[in-house]
Structure 1
């Protein structure tokens, strides 16, 4: 019997909290990321998540001591260099997948990015996202997991 391959993803907030020792969510996010980095579960990162991490962690208006671009890029590299971690983006037909993902949901403002990530998840067969963002629960067909529940 063939083993079913399951993959998971993380939202930008998990990456950000794992980098921010002052965050009340740091320990949970760091523990989760360390476990995911250890493998062997397939991890799919999406380019919008990576770019959000780089944008936010290096922004002086967000953090009193932001990461340098080199530090933030090194953090991303530490994950993406692992053999079971892949960074992927939109494939052919993405627009139709996006429209389907947001069907029946009023998507505007910050929810556009969530719908984008959900569409990427659907396009690439990813069923689970680790996030502190409860808005993902508005989208059917995915499992939303809070890093605080990881043990």
Structure 2
């Protein structure tokens, strides 16, 4: 029960930061990418602030032997850059640049009741399912 309450509190803090930073507003995000037109650099400060807080948090938290509500830290172990990583990053960036929504900002944006957010989240879920299907199919396919 305490783990779920902790996850809820963390999600609310994250969502509040996304809302306060303006990342649920597709126009603000798209203006950040519009270097030749109405460029809005404020999102760089939001991202820089988030990176700073995260770096400081990781510095202190990773000195602990384990998280408070788990037996070990669940950190990525792979270091190589492969096709799925590059393709996923490209799809993420293209989707963010076209729609103005990133996955982290799209979930709190659902609370606004805007149709665009629901379409984006639905497409994102379908994309995740499609990627899992393709990965499973490639894993099962015999090598030529």
Q: Given the two structures, how large is their TM-score scaled by the length of structure 1?
A: 0.28
Q: Which one has the bigger helix percentage?
A: 2
Task: Report which of the two structures shows the higher radius of gyration computed on alpha carbons.
Answer: 2
Q: Which one has the bigger strand percentage?
A: 1
Q: Given the two structures, how large is their TM-score scaled by the length of structure 2?
A: 0.29
